[in-house]
Chain A
């Protein structure tokens, strides 16, 4: 009973501090909210729109005798006498207008200059022999892609569109080659019709070219329609950030609430507690229980609030509860562990600024590297060196709708971290007050 009395007293003190509450609950939601607004533009129409990528295109393609196509059915509906014009026509089509804004440049230098002076984010330079090389089975048709190195999302979208297009064109090329081989003919008009048919089937007539061109990972239990899909894309960015923030700040809360032991020592209330007929075990247990309960409240509030405010889908209930438990146990035990090495609360500043920030950022590194799959894989490996990394990974698995078993592995490792941290922390504190 006294254990609970001590824990409730500590919680009352924690939640009575406006700063502490803001830090525990406000900051994670605020940071996520900033990302939400940054990516979501929700203040306007309520939907999700990525900012348009400005693309400067220098189409230098001079066409070729072997390439003829009547482009009535290709996206954009413009006449295209060369492959270069076909590319430009597709990029200027209505279907692409939500994603990119095309400006035509007279020369390769002008297109690159547009990127250099930041009037465009990407320059696409179609070489003079593009159609020729495309039509020649022994040659590779290459488009130059020139981007602002400081930007990632816009150029990545553009690259994705082009890759998709060029993949399609590779299919066209194979189809044309097969046709020409089988027809044993140099009939270029027929080859043009093959291109036309291929485009019609594979790309131009697609109901939703954006969806074809962009790979969007959907959170569990969602359906695909345009509006929801836009929202899901936003959540695929904001969800992991919120998860990461929750883990990051849960560990801060663990450390700062566990610091109440040192604080009480300095306030002289801890020695006074030791003069009451309350055992040292009960006093320490009460203090530790308050750390655990405070993080419980923090995580529960953040999960519910993030779902309510941002619509974040955390995953199946069993998975979410499992990972919430993992976060709570590892954050509270880590807090006890690191505080057991401190002599006083003044050293806590160094701790908060150093250990928690570094381990927290390491734990979230896979979220920051989401943009690049290879970096994300490496980031995830590095993040698993710290307890925050396992908590983040478990949450991400849950959010991605992975089976409970994959979440439970992370929970198990989090619990193992917790046991070690808790045992060392309690042993050190017991020794300190013996």
Chain B
């Protein structure tokens, strides 16, 4: 392994008409690390990954994958890459083995080497005993595993995983998260996109937070959490008069931010134990009753809230 960054993104831009999907994104991913792009739907994560996979041509900027430019050396980029798309991209009328064999050929594997690698991947994804069943008959989770298996066939140095856990059961999700960690252990670099804060927090060495096509923060989990100053997030619901109560809460000592979304009022505070009694008292004074309280220690969601003024939701 050299010091060459696995992925180097330089001021990437992409627009679709008036929609500026990616606006000057730059970041760097070292070899052997898991880098997560975190952001809500429509933040520009998939567009960024599509450009990095040579599926979309950037309007401006460039990126290098294992030293190969996505503009000038697409074959080199594609050979170094394994891509796990957000949607399941498999031939449902072929078996898992036939799918893997076909995709292996597309990655220039042939003959005995291909056959051996297909068997290895079937073992990795735990589907060797059902390899000769058509993919169309698989459950959603099994399809997801084959979807990942395709990207591993040629032992790529870098793997992109675009929201691989969307719409699957908790057990399959766990399997996938574990397999991502195993890939890292085997020395692969993983670029992982998600809108699930917990996944990014659990998996990543570095996290880039995207919103409205911009990379608004980038760093380790701890570095990002420090951005909100270790503040605690308190989610409250009220029976009424939230609009009257919120300005009063902003005046409470120790409260740094008050915002509301979907009927939930979010308060960022230095210490929840000190602040909570005042919040209850203020609410009572404004003829409102707090019906639920949810306390969150500092995390990426709080960071997103801090940076955008909005909660990170689906």
Stretch in contact with the other chain, from A10-18, A136-144, A246-254, A302-310 = A10-18
Stretch in contact with the other chain, from B20-28, B80-88, B219-227 = B80-88
Whether A72 is near chain B, meaning CB under 8 Å from some CB there, is no
Whether A267 is near chain B, meaning CB under 8 Å from some CB there, is yes
Q: Mark B99-118, 1 if CB is under 8 A from A, else 0.
A: 00011011110000000000
Give the chain B neighbours of A9 by CB distance below 8 A: 91, 94, 102
The number of residues on chain A lying at the interface, defined by a beta carbon within 8 Å of a beta carbon of chain B, is 19
| A13 with B94: CB separation less than 8 A | yes
Q: Mark A259-288, 1 if CB is under 8 A from B, else 0.
A: 000000001110111111110000000000
Contacts A9-B102, A276-B107; A271 near B85 (Cβ below 8 A) = yes
- Residue picked from A9, A276, A278, most chain B C-beta under 10 Å: A276
Q: How far apart sit A223 and B179, CA to CA, in the bound complex (Å)? A: 75
| A272 with B54: CB separation less than 8 A | no
| B75 with A277: CB separation less than 8 A | yes
| A5 with B105: CB separation less than 8 A | yes
- Return A230 CB to nearest CB of chain B, in Å: 46
| A16 with B55: CB separation less than 8 A | no
| B106 with A273: CB separation less than 8 A | yes
Q: How far apart sit A268 and B90, CA to CA, in the bound complex (Å)? A: 8
Contacts A268-B85, A272-B83; A13 near B106 (Cβ below 8 A) = no
Whether A217 is near chain B, meaning CB under 8 Å from some CB there, is no
Q: How far apart sit A269 and B91, CA to CA, in the bound complex (Å)? A: 7
Contact of B85 among A2, A272, A278 (CB under 8 A): A272
Contacts A12-B94, A268-B88; A274 near B54 (Cβ below 8 A) = yes
The number of residues on chain B lying at the interface, defined by a beta carbon within 8 Å of a beta carbon of chain A, is 25
| B105 with A267: CB separation less than 8 A | no
- Return A257 CB to nearest CB of chain B, in Å: 14
Contact of B87 among A2, A12, A17, A268 (CB under 8 A): A268
Contact of B106 among A2, A12, A268, A271 (CB under 8 A): A2
Q: How far apart sit A232 and B87, CA to CA, in the bound complex (Å)? A: 58
Contacts A2-B105, A5-B106; A272 near B89 (Cβ below 8 A) = yes
Give the chain B neighbours of A5 by CB distance below 8 A: 102, 105-106
- Return A314 CB to nearest CB of chain B, in Å: 33
Give the chain B neighbours of A272 by CB distance below 8 A: 83, 85, 89, 150
Give the chain B neighbours of A12 by CB distance below 8 A: 94, 98
| B103 with A276: CB separation less than 8 A | yes
Contacts A5-B102, A275-B78; A13 near B83 (Cβ below 8 A) = no
Q: How far apart sit A271 and B55, CA to CA, in the bound complex (Å)? A: 7
| B54 with A275: CB separation less than 8 A | yes
Give the chain A neighbours of B53 by CB distance below 8 A: 275
- Return A204 CB to nearest CB of chain B, in Å: 68
| B93 with A277: CB separation less than 8 A | no
Whether B79 is near chain A, meaning CB under 8 Å from some CB there, is yes
Q: A2-B106, A276-B78, A277-B79 are in contact. List 16 more A-B contacts (CB 8 A).
A: A2-B105, A5-B105, A9-B91, A9-B102, A16-B93, A267-B92, A268-B85, A269-B89, A271-B89, A272-B150, A275-B53, A275-B78, A275-B81, A276-B106, A277-B106, A277-B107
